[in-house]
Amino acid sequence: MHQFMGVVTMAKFFGNLNAVLVAGLVLMLAVLIGVQGSLDANYLWRWAHVISGIMWIGHLYYFNFTQIPTMPKIPAELKPGVSKHIAPAALFWFRYGALATIVTGIVVAIQAGYAHQAFTLQPPFRTIGIGMWLALIMGFNVWFIIWPNQKKALGLVEADDATKAKAATTAMMFSRTNTLLSIAMLYCMISAESGY
Ligand code: HEM
């Protein structure tokens, strides 16, 4: 009986995403304070940047590796499950993940004191500068091309069938463009400290 109650309590905890996220944060703080002994704003911004980057690019890869290739194999009567429920939720985390990544990335660059040099592609900041520009182009695509076209394609706004089909193709092409750009962008992000 006790064991059963334990499983019920665990299931309740793991069933609550917010509670799990708070526990994750507590664990992080324990490591941070226990090992590093202090809260460093610089690392907290970097952490926020990488975690929102994962939220963004994780959803980008979900669309490109899972949803887009699987959609044609789904029977017509089941497609609305994806287009009406899963895709709108995924697109929410996708576009706000993109926004958060851009904002935190710019903060990281400002804190490091090289935002201007990076954006103007000065020699020792060229790598991160290229990464930042690639990611900005990707963010522009998310908010101003993919999202407006997905709204039409998924029927979140009124559109006739021909417009819907065209919008779906445009969204797919820009989503694929972002997948292409993400490869070099990530290399720039992680090799910024090379000083090139
Ligand atoms: C416009 C958007 C972005 C801007 C302005 C930006 C800016 C930056 C800056 C300034 C750094 C610090 C580099 C350094 O000095 O070591 C950085 C690191 C990083 N960024 Fe971005 N970034 C952007 C988008 C992204 C995206 C989409 C991802 C995807 C996950 C990402 C992942 C990373 C990672 C993994 C690091 C390395 C962190 C570290 O080594 O501490 N960034 N970014």
d(CA 186, CA 23): 29
Residues 35 and 47 in one domain: no
Residues 114 and 33 in one domain: no
Residue 59 CB contacts under 8 Å (≥ 6 apart), including other chains: 90, 91, 93, 94, 97
List pLDDT tens digits, range 71-109.
Answer: 999 999 999 999 999 999 999 999 999 999 999 999 999
d(CA 43, CA 35): 14
Helix (H, G, I), strand (E, B) or coil at 55: helix
Pocket-testing residue among 130, 189, 193, 194, ligand 1, by greatest number of atoms within 8 A of Cβ:
189
Residues 109 and 183 in one domain: yes
**Number of neighbouring beta carbons within 10 Å of residue 59:** 22
Residues 20 and 102 in one domain: no
Residues 34 and 51 in one domain: no
Domain range for 28: 1-39
List pLDDT tens digits, range 17-64.
Answer: 999 999 999 999 999 999 989 888 999 999 999 999 999 999 999 999
Residues 10 and 63 in one domain: no
Residues 25 and 49 in one domain: no
Of ligand 1's listed atoms, the one at least distance from the Cα of 133 is 1
Structure tokens given for 185: 């962008």
Residues 23 and 64 in one domain: no
Pocket-testing residue among 46, 47, 49, ligand 1, by greatest number of atoms within 8 A of Cβ:
49
- Ligand 1: residue whose CA is nearest its atom 8: 105
Specify whether the CB–CB gap between 123 and 163 falls below 8 A. Answer: no
Number of domains in the chain: 2
Residues 21 and 71 in one domain: no
| Residue 66 per-residue DSSP state | I
Distance in Å, CA 50 to ligand 1 centroid: 7
pTM of the model: 0.93
Kindly tell me if the per-residue pLDDT of 190 is higher than 70: yes
d(CA 105, CA 121): 16
Helix (H, G, I), strand (E, B) or coil at 82: helix
Kindly tell me if the per-residue pLDDT of 3 is higher than 80: no
Residues 18 and 71 in one domain: no
**Number of neighbouring beta carbons within 10 Å of residue 159:** 17
Residues 100 and 167 in one domain: yes
Q: What is the dihedral of CA 93, 96, 99, 104, to 10 degrees?
A: -80
Residues 85 and 29 in one domain: no
